[in-house]
Amino acid sequence: MDKNAYQEKMEAQLKERRAELEKFKARLEKEKAEKKIEYQDKIKALEENIDEMQSKLKKIKETSDETWKNIKNELDKGTNDIKNQLKDLLP
């Protein structure tokens, strides 16, 4: 997969993960205050992870074709971690 195709794929995945998280947050708004407190730290960590992956994705745009693959490995792992965190959070 070339650099541009990878960037598009990752942008779509991160957008999808953020949408899933926003959907969960909206559902959580309907829950009792106790549940909100329980999930606040997990939500904050997920938001920070998504932001970090988006930052790494921006770095890919600035790197040469030779060095972008190092960042790609970090992005692959990070987006997979986010996906798993969301699975744990969402019933």
Mean pLDDT of 11-20: 93
| Range in 41-45, 49-53, 64-68, 69-73 the model is least confident about | 64-68
Task: Work out the number of other CB atoms within 10 angstroms of the CB of residue 14.
Answer: 21
Q: Is the pLDDT of residue 73 over 80?
A: yes
d(CA 3, CA 6): 5
0.75 exceeded by pTM: no
Contacts of 41 (CB under 8 A, 6+ apart): none
More confident residue, 8 or 31: 8
Cβ atoms of residues 59 and 78 within 8 Å: no
